[in-house]
Amino acid sequence: MLELRVRNHPGTMSHITGLFARRGFNLEAIVCVPVADGATSAMLLLVADEPRLEQVERQLAKLFDVLTVRHRPDLGREFFSALVPVAAAAAPEAVA
Amino acid sequence: MKITGAAILRTLLQRQGVHTLAGIPGGANLPFYDALHAAGQDHPIRHILARHEQGAGFIAQGMARVTGRAGICLATSGPGATNLLTAIADARLDSIPLVALTGQVPQALIGSDAFQEVDTYGLTLPVTKHNFLVRDPAELLEVVPLAFQLAESGRPGPVAVDVPKDVQTASAEVSSWPEPGGPVPVPPCPEDRIAALARQLAAARRPVLYLGGGVITANAGGLARALAHRASAPVVCTLMALGALPPDDPLFMGMLGMHAARGTNWLLEEADLLVAIGARFDDRATGKVAEFCPHAAIAHIDIDAAEIGKIKPAFLGLVGDAAAILRSLLDRLPPQDRPAWRARAQELRRAHPVHHPARIEDPLHPVNLCRFLGEALPPDTILTTDVGQHQMWVAQAYPVRQPRTLLTSGGLGTMGFGLPAAIGAALALPARRSLGEGGEESGAGGRVVCVSGDGSILMNIQELATLAELDLPVAVLIFNNAQLGLVRQQQELFYGRRYAAAHFASVPDFAALARAFGLRGVRLDPDGDPLADLAAALAAPGPCVIDIPIHEAANVYPMVPPGAANRQMIAEPELASAHA
């Protein structure tokens, strides 16, 4: 799991999800909430723990709208399941 | 003081020191053109009217590649913006600072499929370093300096700024103007890393320096050369780094990769330490990555941390400004004497020259043409290319003697780049002289030469009208084989000589075409004294187009098949037996 602090404006989500699509990185889940006055948002990204993870982090860190990138090994898939109960009920193959 | 968004944008560009921009007007950017018109003679911004927005984008790139400062191009919404995309993507791949300004439909119409509406923000997102959609005229005060800062800082790149028409016409209160945006210094590389590289260089037996375009961007060519001599390390260059070292330097081994001299790729097979500087391990340079430099440890210097280890794991990554790192490295590294390794490089260079027929036998062989240009043109001449065989012949045989004198589309490989980039380069010549980089006035009247092919030139041929209008000293040389030559070459070598769509059944009379645009047009006669005619055409003043018939079967050799390791070079057939 990666935690980002990002500038909060309409294009930020496109920049981040576009990076994953463009570079062929896997993004399994995403959640984004505004922080304090709404100038920035906190974003949690569930990503596969693959060899290219470091490259993913470096590319994310280059985006102007991304202010910080840090690891959250304490959070996992269960975090998202708790946020979206229907995801916990549906097995991945049922979704596909 | 309340000012319109259009006037704010113009004033911010003036404060940036912008004196020239290239573009085409249309419905959604007319308020800005009106503001440009109103600028008057006190602080004029020269507008170059291109004939296609892609031409405007590459004119801006030509200026940027010569000066190192952001080029500016301008287009209207919809097709104006989509036409710019290729030039923007090209700037991204070659790390060229560019600010692309586009008009957009009024905000009330965004999302309504309005006339000439396209999602410029969404389209430019994946091909820019960053992009903006401006929603309020006051935002321009922040966005415009920031756009220049982002374009020129760190690893340079293109920034797109989309400005809806109502933002241009609405007014905002301006109490004070922001400072112009420019390059922000990068944090220094940790000294212990530089010390580690110095130790590794001292311990290596067969080190090679691998220079990329970042060396040109960092103005670090002289430092790289000093390091090469200090460490007795031969130097290979990517296409983008040609000009970093003078080609007659005894340690210069030319371009590496797909169309390298055989000796250059062989040298890399033998290296035990590869120091990459501002290079990104592009597949045209490395060939099959797993087999690139099989015996070498890799140290990688780059201003972009994400490049370290992106393609090839590096045992040592140094992130920072290449010039600063090389200066510190030179302070730490005592002279390394490696006579055997120097001799080996010389031997490989001598044993594997670029093969070509003698000039007297075949003066219009492309290699002979490129060599001749090297003799006829002063060392500070700026030469642009298009993309294809002629581009690789230039890289192999034209001596690029100074940084920023070869402008070529390296990463994206855009046919159509050469002519508008040459126009931009010619526009930037006065600025280059004032930077003190141009040296004395060159003999050929500060000529800019565009070497193109009969395929490439047609992709932005309309810019001949722009050239005629501006009367700039650009000479366009068309290596004409009535083919998409590099396509035909690949079909010959890798597709069983099944030539599909590589031959042009109809080729225009380029000399007559030039005259139709109001330019001097010449076609060289192979049966006369074509090189004398070429020299005369280059020496005559003003813009011209020189059509040069070349043999349609000429190929670029050696060639590494796409996807193969660099040691698997295909040699010229009739010469293969002697040099297998």
Backbone dihedral angles phi then psi of residue B430, each to the nearest 5 degrees: -60, -40
Q: What is the pLDDT of residue B159?
A: 98
List of chain B residues whose C-beta atoms are within 8 Å of the C-beta of residue A13: none
B340 touches chain A (CB under 8 A): no
DSSP per-residue letters across B65-127:
HHHSSPEEEEE-STHHHHHHHHHHHHHHHTT--EEEEEEE--GGGTTTT-TT---HHHHHGGG
Contact assignment for B125 to A62 by CB distance below 8 Å:
no
- Whole-number pLDDT of residue A80: 85
pLDDT at residue A49 above 70? yes
Task: Count CB neighbours of A4 within 10 A.
Answer: 24
Q: What is the DSSP string of A55-69?
A: HHHHHHHHSTTEEEE
CA distance A92 to chain B (A): 30
B130 and A64 in contact by Cβ < 8 A? Answer: yes
Please give the pLDDT value at position B47: 97
- Please give the DSSP secondary-structure letter assigned to residue B377: S
Please write down the HEC assignment for all residues of B286-314. Answer: HECHHHCCCCCEEEEEECCHHHCCCCCCC
Collapse the DSSP code of A6 into the 3-class scheme (helix H, G, I; strand E, B; otherwise coil) and give the result. strand
Residues in B closer than 8 angstroms to A10, CB to CB, are: 133
Q: How far is B306 from chain A (nearest CA, A)?
A: 5
Nearest to B306 among A11, A15, A62 (CB): A62
Nearest beta carbon to residue B150 from set A18, A22, A64: A64
The pTM (predicted TM-score) of the whole model is: 0.95
Q: How confident is the model at residue B77, as a pLDDT? A: 98
Chain A / chain B CB contacts < 8 angstroms: 28
Residue among A14, A22, A63 whose CB faces B122 most closely: A14
- Scanning B153-238, the segments in alpha helix (DSSP H) are 165-169, 191-203, 213-217, 221-231
**What distance lies between CA A84 and its chain's CA centroid?**
15
Q: Which amino acid is at A24?
A: G
CA distance B23 to B84: 10
Q: What is the pLDDT of residue B70?
A: 98
Q: Which residue of B has its CA nearest to A23?
A: B126
* Confidence band, pLDDT 50/70/90 cuts, at residue A92: low
Q: Do A11 and B306 touch (CB under 8 A)?
A: no
Catalogue the E-assigned strands of B244-354. 252-255, 273-277, 297-302, 316-319
Q: Please report the DSSP string for B384-438 in residue order.
A: EE-SSHHHHHHHHHS---STT-EE---SS--TT-HHHHHHHHHHHHHHHHHTT-S
Q: Render pLDDT for B377-427 as a digit per residue (tens, 0 to 9).
A: 999 999 999 999 999 999 999 999 999 999 999 999 999 999 999 999 999
Per-block mean pLDDT, blocks of 10 residues, chain B (580 long): 96 96 98 91 88 98 98 98 98 98 98 97 98 98 98 98 98 97 97 98 98 98 98 98 97 97 96 98 96 97 97 96 98 97 97 91 96 97 98 98 98 98 95 58 70 98 98 98 97 96 96 98 97 97 97 95 95 56
pLDDT at B440: 45
CA dist., res. B176 & res. B426, Å (int): 36
Q: What percent of chain A has pLDDT over 90?
A: 52
- Residue B579: the pLDDT is 40
